[in-house]
Amino acid sequence: MPESAFGVDAGGTFTKIAAVSGRGKVLRLEEFPTDPAAGPGDFLERVIRVLELWRRHGIKASSFGLGLAGDVDHERGTLRLTPNLPGWQGYPFAKEFHQRLRLPMVVENDANAAVWGAYVTQLERRPRSVVGVTLGTGVGGGLIIDGRLYRGATGTAGEIGHTRVAASGEPCHCGARGCLEAYVGNYGIVRTARKLLRARPGSGRILRRLVPDLKTLTPKHLKVAAQRGDALSREVWERTGEMLGLGLANVVMALNPDTVVLLGGVSRAGHWLLDPVKRVFLEHPFQTALRHVSLGRADNPNAGCVGAALLAREGAGR
């Protein structure tokens, strides 16, 4: 059996570890809640424990890929900036993991890894140019141009979540105002809903029944309430989709991709989110790129660790 690659996807909430075949098939999978406060050294030990156990069970890997939520210095294998993994910046991930595993490795932005994973395993026709957006707590992105992952000058390419869609808009976790993430990240969507609920005390009855304690409100509740006919929840998705459409239209105009693919939990809102995006695309008078692009979802929940493993494999030349 050809050797697999190990891939890790470390997000702000969960870490997933996989052994992945050359074609992107998950052979083994393990996950644990990320504990950012425990620090990167603790994270490393937990990952190593899993991989050493797998090795003892005969699962061999020829490379190792690590996807991290934040601005990754691809050359040095460190994080420059990471709102979701506070205190992890500067830690020498590539050096420390390499010392323990003795495998060729890559450290990659988690959204780049997820978009690459979705590209290889889910987009069967392999379009030449793809813009991928991961919608979750944070909003990340990855760009595939002419069939290759595009990292840009500093490895920061594809940070679509921090392109700005409002001049002096809502605050974003990165510190700026008006970023796309501030409207379409989990916290942005919930903020929109809370604002509407406060402004219209009599509305959103279905949503209020569904979530008696609004402190626990999530985008998932808003999807369920929208499906049950809640007008306020539907309006939240309209507003969210419009902002997403605005942000994506800018990227489509700049890059003229074949495909825009949405990944991550919020993308499961399906047509509630996609319909307003499509409408924004069609309302733009400059139509060529926006009519050409196909808009869809990729729902491989393991795309992040699969992509990290596949990128490591490629980097190692196997």
Site for Zn ion contains 66 (CB under 5 A): no
**What span, in angstroms and rounded, lies between the C-alpha atoms of 145 and 94?**
26
User: Which token pair is 84?
Assistant: 């979701």
Contact yes or no for 161/138 (Cβ under 8 A):
yes
Q: How many residues bind Zn ion (CB under 5 A)?
A: 5
Close Cβ partners of 307 (under 8 Å, ≥ 6 residues apart):
7, 9, 65, 67, 108, 112, 113, 114, 115, 116, 117, 118, 119, 120
The phi, psi pair for 179, rounded to 5°, reads: -70, 155
Beta carbon nearer to Zn ion, 81 or 176:
176
Site for Zn ion contains 162 (CB under 5 A): yes
**Smallest separation (angstroms) from Zn ion to the CB of 312:** 28
Site for Zn ion contains 143 (CB under 5 A): no
Contact yes or no for 44/35 (Cβ under 8 A):
no
Beta carbon nearer to Zn ion, 121 or 186:
186
* Residue 174: strand, helix, or coil: coil
Site for Zn ion contains 196 (CB under 5 A): no
Q: Which stretch binds Zn ion (CB under 5 A): 2-10, 116-124, 165-173, 253-261?
A: 165-173
Site for Zn ion contains 160 (CB under 5 A): no
Residue 218 to residues 79, 103, 167, 207: CA-CA distances in angstroms? 29, 40, 26, 11
**Smallest separation (angstroms) from Zn ion to the CB of 162:** 4
Figure out which of the listed residues 51, 179, 251, 261 binds Zn ion, where binding follows CB under 5 A.
Answer: 179
Q: Which stretch binds Zn ion (CB under 5 A): 47-55, 90-98, 172-180, 235-243?
A: 172-180
**Smallest separation (angstroms) from Zn ion to the CB of 177:** 8
**Smallest separation (angstroms) from Zn ion to the CB of 107:** 22
**Smallest separation (angstroms) from Zn ion to the CB of 176:** 5
Give strand pairing partners of 29.
Answer: 18
Beta carbon nearer to Zn ion, 18 or 79:
79
* Residue 160: strand, helix, or coil: helix
Give the footprint of Zn ion on this chain (CB under 5 A): 162, 172, 174, 176, 179
